[in-house]
Amino acid sequence: MGLAKLFTRQLSGYPGGYKKMRRGFQGFNETPPFAVPDDDQDRRSRIPPLGYREYWYPALPEKDVKKSEPSMLRMLGTDVIFFRDKEGKVQALLDWCPHRSVYLSMGKCYFEGFVTCPYHGATFDGDGNCVAFLTEGPDSKMTGAPGMKARKFPTVTLKGLVFVWMGDGEPVAPEEDIPPEMFEDHNILRPSYCMFDCNWVLVLENTMDAHNAFMVHRNALRILGSRLGGRPRTPLGYRVNIVNDKNVHYRPGSGKSSVENFYYDDNGNIPYQMYYPGVDGVWPLHKWRLLWTWFFDKKAKRRGQTPGRQRPVSADTPDVNEWNGTRLPGMSRTGGNNRDFRSTRWPVPVEENLTRMVYLNVERYSKPPSVLRRVVKGATWPYRNWFLNFNFRNQDYDAEKYVQYGMPEYLSSTDSVVVAMRRLFVEHARDVTRRREREEEAPESMEETLAEQQVRQGDQLVAQASEAFDAQRLEEELLRRV
């Protein structure tokens, strides 16, 4: 063995060398392979690793689809190509030539409105019909043959973004699955994208984790101005509504079921540092944040808001609605019921360990915005995008990617939103309901899982230890259908 090979080869014999393979061939910082639990009474085992197919999903910007060649994107484990028809509209087909199963994405659009396979020249229109077979000449019997029909995926383009129906069944109206602000006339869409090397379920469940702010996000810019760390610490989970079997909406409750009030004193104050007897220490470890949070508390009070909890101006629509919270097939609608801006986090499954996060950032206007406003908003968007979707959101990714989803879990009351989301998806996803409508075999419904029992028991234990909370009211408001 030469010296160069000796020194470049992976060695574990030198002092401390074992650390390079401490997790075996899986790198220490790599995402664990995704797996679901074996227990069919665990709702996690019934969530498809590649997502629910009977829905519209965001794909790619219309401007990325050229006339000369198809664009390709893997979605829900399926390779899809996009090209323009004769009218210039974006069409989508399965990345598969029915002749010899070659990737259509490797072909060209030699003729305007059509895509041609690179192997034998089978040429398809936007509906998947084979309209020419170049290597056999104009009289080819492959043209129009039933077996030469390529798989078509319906598409719709809104505000420059292409959406695709990924299901096998009849598409629903796009308005059923795509956020309503995408259909409002004067709004401006500013999409952004990010790739996460973990499963889409981990991405979504973390988005619904209402109690990780003072750990995961404590040093994000938007949290540094909050003395509370984003949300008040509390051992009680948020109260949950399942809205029209489409959406999970959570709220803090009120009166003797207001979960955020657990550590507040009679004067309405909550301590910044709290003592944890198990470690004989306080968290947070330091008080330097208080050097400036007083300024943001004062600003919140002027607005009539709770100190440490600044909120945007709300829209006129009710707070509890189908589009406020987490909605099937897997989008999280962040920012509350915001009048002027809505951001939808939409994790689109790519592979079992890869997710394409699509951020639908929409500035809302009741009339066309002025040129000056467009210029200012456009110039400041790179920073606002980083502030909202990357500085803050990527901190979630650094935690969620290490979840070992197939392992047992022991849940707290504060996991109330997560278990509600799992129930919504497993019981009411369109894939499941359509199977039931077709009277196909579908998993039987579960009344209450072990995870849900753990959350409920967590509520009861906290309520029993504090007279400030009404155990019966907490029970009634834990999960409601509206």
Angle at 16 between CA 12 and CA 19, to 5 degrees: 70
Question: What is the pLDDT of the chain when averaged over all its residues?
Answer: 87
Residue 433 lies in a domain: yes
Model confidence pLDDT, tens digit, residues 45-101: 999 999 999 999 999 999 999 999 999 999 999 999 999 999 999 999 999 999 999
Residue 436 lies in a domain: yes
CATH number of the domain at 414, please: 3.90.380
Among 159, 176, 193, the domain boundary falls at: 176
Judge if 297 and 405 occupy the same domain. Answer: yes
Is residue 10 scored above 60 in pLDDT? no
Model confidence pLDDT, tens digit, residues 344-401: 999 999 999 999 999 999 999 999 999 999 999 999 999 999 998 888 888 888 888 9
User: Which range, of 176-190, 342-356, 431-445, averages the lowest pLDDT?
Assistant: 431-445
Mean pLDDT score, 279-296 = 89
Q: Which residues lie across from 354 on neighbouring strands?
A: 351
Mean pLDDT score, 115-144 = 95
What would the two tokens of residue 40 be?
A: 């069919």
Angle between helical axes of 450-464 and 416-428 (0-180°, round to 10): 150
Judge if 163 and 226 occupy the same domain. Answer: no
Judge if 142 and 213 occupy the same domain. Answer: no
Listed in sequence order, the residues at least 6 apart from 15 whose beta carbon sits closer than 8 Å to its beta carbon are none
Residue 10 lies in a domain: no
CATH number of the domain at 112, please: 2.102.10.10
Model confidence pLDDT, tens digit, residues 404-423: 999 999 998 889 989 999 99
At residue 307, the pLDDT reads 62
Among 122, 150, 176, the domain boundary falls at: 176
What would the two tokens of residue 373 be?
A: 């406003």
Judge if 170 and 192 occupy the same domain. Answer: no
Among 160, 176, 192, the domain boundary falls at: 176
Is residue 243 scored above 70 in pLDDT? yes
Judge if 361 and 382 occupy the same domain. Answer: yes
At residue 398, the pLDDT reads 84
Where is mean pLDDT largest: 226-240, 294-308, 367-381? 367-381
Residue 386's domain comprises 183-481
Listed in sequence order, the residues at least 6 apart from 96 whose beta carbon sits closer than 8 Å to its beta carbon are 79, 102, 103, 104, 150, 151
Assign 481 to helix, strand or coil.
Answer: strand
At residue 368, the pLDDT reads 93
Judge if 271 and 340 occupy the same domain. Answer: yes
At residue 88, the pLDDT reads 94
Residue 25 lies in a domain: no
Judge if 118 and 251 occupy the same domain. Answer: no
Residue type, 60: L
Residue 43 lies in a domain: no
Judge if 211 and 169 occupy the same domain. Answer: no
Judge if 202 and 278 occupy the same domain. Answer: yes
Mean pLDDT score, 429-453 = 81
Residue 18 lies in a domain: no
Judge if 357 and 222 occupy the same domain. Answer: yes
Judge if 164 and 188 occupy the same domain. Answer: no
Is the bond into 284 cis (omega within 30 degrees of 0)? yes
Judge if 311 and 339 occupy the same domain. Answer: yes
Residue 437 lies in a domain: yes
Is 333 in contact with 321 (CB distance < 8 Å)?
no
d(CA 82, CA 98): 17
At residue 209, the pLDDT reads 65
The structural domain count of the chain equals 2
Pairing label, strands 239-243, 479-481: parallel
d(CA 43, CA 32): 20
Is residue 468 scored above 60 in pLDDT? yes
Is residue 310 scored above 60 in pLDDT? no
Assign 395 to helix, strand or coil.
Answer: helix
Residue 332 lies in a domain: yes
Listed in sequence order, the residues at least 6 apart from 441 whose beta carbon sits closer than 8 Å to its beta carbon are 435
C-alpha dihedral, 33 to 38 to 43 to 48, nearest 10° = 50
3-state secondary structure 94-109: ECCCCCCCCCHHHCEC
